[in-house]
């Protein structure tokens, strides 16, 4: 049997809440000299309405609930934290979650030193009530978080199961309905005293930027939370914009209908794309998509300026894709089909995936307009940018490597992928100059000779005083070039003299770039630059 008093932390039960200046005065203030405000200011010189009267009455009418059942937070995130702080004794109590689910329940519990019981979901992403039942008697369990539609799986949780859990549990069941307007059936009208519903202005109402979440619970529960909540947590601008939005609910309904119809179209289009294995049915404004190699698709989309969410840590090889505008969705589909990028020039590509690194490298020997480099090692990125800039090449390199071990695998495998991309771009190697070298001077003198003759070789004459430049180990510089020669099938002869290790390495990379530029240049003849007849 749910007993609210028993659930409240003892210090909160006895808490005398902060009384704000405006709480003490119910009438209409003509001369407000009670809150130490600046009488001039810029139009927002007064504290916000702590009671949020307009906002509460508008939202109450919008959802058809009583205003005393509502509490507002700086996003739902604040209310999740508020619930944990009000009901869970740090170091003693616990919450229960059903992963994979929204991450803030766990984060807020961790911040508050509150334990977490995890119960897995069934294969259909539902809750197994019988399996859960024994945990419901644990006296340290105070809050159960259920997300429906669930993030990231997109499905709703059966209503009967939620009712059963609430009825068999003495604590509070928090039902997060953040995505409810995109297809679920809200449980806001259920009169279950320990069911507490979370909604937000960030999704269907389109106001993620104002940070406004709503808690809907029994009025007694709301009264306790109000003791803990900071008095002015919702600022004036947020309250105004929310009230405005609640006056335009017809427009909101149209937007939601359009997102739902885009979701279904997007799902259909995604299903025709190679490598996509499954699209989970969704009642939310996102799709969970199972794909052959989620990490590589993720980085390749990033390269094209499109970000989605990789959820593979929770469900293997899955991406969570938010439903965007029709144009955004079309761009996503085009990027996945590679329709949007028909390169001009000699291009080569390498996708390299091992348990240590995932690398995507492509090079365009004739078009320097498109370069993007991100290996996670800033100095190494700087060096690869030298290759693109001084080689007049288009170069895209995205490396996702095990940097938590050290940079070795990432640098080595990037070099291998880069070499393969050059090998690919050079094709039969007909009609190229083949050789290149340069002697650039800085405080150092670097000499890089190259021969794209089809055989790997590295001659190396360089020493460094420092062990690292930035995050990059100096011993990895020769290793980078050795790996490159292996897959690009070229000879490299590199020498450097000088003082400053940063300059020495940079001048090698610049000289390397200029040598490449010379060697890959097309000659007019178009013949193979070898008497062997093959390179």
Q: Does 444 bind ligand PMP (CB under 6 A)?
A: no
DSSP 302-319: HHTT---EE-TTTSTTEE
| Distance between start and end Cα atoms, the chain | 82
Q: CA 430 to CA 426: how far, in whole Å?
A: 8
Instruction: Yes or no: say if 503 and 445 are a contact pair by the CB < 8 Å rule.
Output: no
Contact set for ligand PMP, span 323-382 (CB under 6 A): none
Q: Is 83 or 446 the residue whose CB approaches ligand PMP more closely?
A: 83
Q: Does 421 bind ligand PMP (CB under 6 A)?
A: no
Q: Is 80 or 415 the residue whose CB approaches ligand PMP more closely?
A: 80
Identify the three-state secondary structure at position 160: helix
Q: Measured at CB, which residue is nearest to ligand PMP?
A: 75
Question: According to the 3-state scheme, what is the secondary structure of 187-254?
Answer: CCCCCCCCEEEEEECCCCCCCHHHCCEEEECCHHHHHHHHHHCCCCCCCHHHHHHHHHHCCCHHHHHH
Number of residues that bind ligand PMP (CB under 6 A): 12
Q: Does 147 bind ligand PMP (CB under 6 A)?
A: yes
With contacts defined by CB under 6 A, name the span among 35-43, 69-77, 110-118, 131-139 that binds ligand PMP. Answer: 69-77
Q: Does 200 bind ligand PMP (CB under 6 A)?
A: yes
Q: Is 181 or 412 the residue whose CB approaches ligand PMP more closely?
A: 181
Q: Is 183 or 213 the residue whose CB approaches ligand PMP more closely?
A: 213
Using the rule CB under 6 A, which residue among 2, 8, 69, 75 binds ligand PMP?
A: 75
Shortest approach of ligand PMP to residue 228 CB, angstroms? 18
Q: CA 395 to CA 376: how far, in whole Å?
A: 16
Using the rule CB under 6 A, which residue among 202, 238, 300, 485 binds ligand PMP?
A: 202
Q: Does 77 bind ligand PMP (CB under 6 A)?
A: yes
Characterise 444 by phi-psi region: left (phi > 0), alpha (psi -120 to 50), beta (else): beta
Torsion, Cα 378 380 381 384, to 10 degrees, reads 170
β-bridge partners, 347: 364
Ordered alpha helix ranges (H), 392-455? 408-426
Q: Does 81 bind ligand PMP (CB under 6 A)?
A: no
Using the rule CB under 6 A, which residue among 100, 171, 213, 348 binds ligand PMP?
A: 213
Q: CA 143 to CA 37: how far, in whole Å?
A: 39
Contacts of 503 (CB under 8 A, 6+ apart): 442, 443, 444
Shortest approach of ligand PMP to residue 214 CB, angstroms? 8
Q: Does 238 bind ligand PMP (CB under 6 A)?
A: no
Q: CA 303 to CA 50: how far, in whole Å?
A: 46
Using the rule CB under 6 A, which residue among 2, 47, 87, 102 binds ligand PMP?
A: 102
Shortest approach of ligand PMP to residue 66 CB, angstroms? 22
Shortest approach of ligand PMP to residue 92 CB, angstroms? 26
Q: Does 111 bind ligand PMP (CB under 6 A)?
A: no
Shortest approach of ligand PMP to residue 380 CB, angstroms? 34
Using the rule CB under 6 A, which residue among 81, 93, 176, 303 binds ligand PMP?
A: 176
Tokens found for residue 521: 């240049």
Q: CA 386 to CA 383: how far, in whole Å?
A: 5
Q: CA 13 to CA 87: how far, in whole Å?
A: 10
Q: Is 214 or 494 the residue whose CB approaches ligand PMP more closely?
A: 214
Q: Is 2 or 182 the residue whose CB approaches ligand PMP more closely?
A: 182
Q: Does 76 bind ligand PMP (CB under 6 A)?
A: yes
- Residue of 140, 143, 137 whose CA lies nearest to 83: 143
List phi, psi (to 5°) of 353: -135, 120
Q: Does 197 bind ligand PMP (CB under 6 A)?
A: no
Tokens found for residue 377: 């090692």
Enclosing H/E stretch for 295: helix 294-303
Using the rule CB under 6 A, which residue among 132, 178, 266, 508 binds ligand PMP?
A: 178
With contacts defined by CB under 6 A, name the span among 70-78, 238-246, 381-389, 393-401 that binds ligand PMP. Answer: 70-78
Q: Is 143 or 462 the residue whose CB approaches ligand PMP more closely?
A: 143
Q: Is 81 or 362 the residue whose CB approaches ligand PMP more closely?
A: 81
CA distances from 423 to 100, 368, 372, 429 (A): 43, 18, 20, 9
Footprint of ligand PMP (CB under 6 A): 75-77, 102, 147, 151, 176, 178, 200, 202, 208, 213
């Amino acid at each position: 049997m749910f007993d609210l008093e028993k659930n409240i932390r003892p210090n909160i039960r006895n808490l005398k809440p902060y009384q704000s200046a405006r709480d003490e005065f119910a009438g209409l203030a003509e001369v407000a000299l009670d809150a130490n405000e600046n009488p001039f200011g810029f139009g927002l010189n007064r504290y916000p309405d702590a009671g949020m009267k307009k906002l509460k009455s508008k939202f109450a009418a919008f959802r058809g609930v009583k205003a005393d059942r509502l509490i507002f937070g700086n996003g739902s995130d604040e209310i999740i934290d508020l619930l944990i702080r009000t009901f869970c004794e740090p170091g003693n109590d616990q919450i229960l979650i059903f992963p994979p689910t929204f991450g803030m329940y766990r984060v807020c519990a961790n911040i508050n030193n509150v334990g977490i019981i995890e119960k897995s979901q069934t294969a259909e992403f539902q809750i197994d009530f019988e399996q859960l039942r024994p945990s419901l008697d644990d006296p340290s369990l105070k809050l159960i978080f259920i997300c429906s539609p669930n993030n990231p799986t997109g499905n709703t949780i059966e209503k009967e199961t939620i009712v059963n859990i609430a009825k068999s549990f003495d604590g509070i069941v928090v039902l997060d309905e953040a995505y409810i307007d995109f297809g679920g059936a809200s449980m806001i009208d259920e009169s279950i005293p320990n069911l507490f519903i979370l909604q937000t202005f960030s999704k269907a109402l389109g106001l993620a930027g104002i940070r406004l979440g709503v808690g809907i619970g029994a009025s007694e529960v709301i009264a306790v939370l109000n003791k803990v909540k900071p008095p002015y947590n919702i600022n004036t601008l947020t309250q105004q914009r929310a009230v405005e939005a609640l006056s335009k609910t017809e427009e909101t309904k149209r937007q939601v209908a359009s997102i739902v119809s885009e979701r279904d179209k997007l799902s259909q289009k995604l299903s025709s794309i190679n490598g996509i294995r499954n699209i989970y049915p969704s009642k939310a404004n996102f799709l969970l998509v199972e794909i052959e190699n989620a990490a590589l698709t993720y980085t390749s989309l990033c390269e094209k300026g499109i970000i989605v969410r990789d959820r593979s840590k929770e469900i293997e090889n899955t991406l969570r894709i938010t439903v965007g505008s029709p144009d955004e969705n079309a761009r996503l589909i085009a990027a996945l089909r590679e329709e949007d990028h028909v390169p001009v020039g000699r291009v080569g590509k390498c996708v390299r995936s091992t348990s240590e690194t995932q690398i995507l490298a492509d090079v365009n020997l004739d078009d320097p307009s498109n370069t993007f480099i991100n290996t996670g090692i800033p100095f190494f990125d700087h060096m690869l940018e030298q290759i693109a800039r001084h080689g007049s090449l288009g170069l895209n390199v995205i490396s996702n490597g095990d940097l938590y071990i050290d940079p070795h695998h990432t640098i080595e495998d990037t070099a291998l992928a880069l070499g393969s991309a050059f090998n690919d771009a050079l094709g039969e190697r007909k009609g190229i100059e083949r050789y290149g070298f340069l002697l650039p001077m800085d405080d150092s003198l670097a000499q890089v000779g190259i021969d794209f003759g089809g055989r790997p070789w590295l001659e190396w004459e360089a020493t460094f005083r420092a062990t690292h430049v930035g995050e990059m180990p100096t011993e990895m510089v020769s290793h980078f070039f050795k790996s490159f020669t292996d897959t690009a099938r070229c000879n490299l002869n590199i020498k450097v003299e000088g003082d400053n290790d940063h300059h020495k390495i940079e001048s090698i990379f610049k000289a390397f770039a200029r040598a490449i530029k010379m060697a890959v240049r097309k000659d007019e003849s178009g013949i193979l630059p070898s008497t062997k007849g093959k390179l």
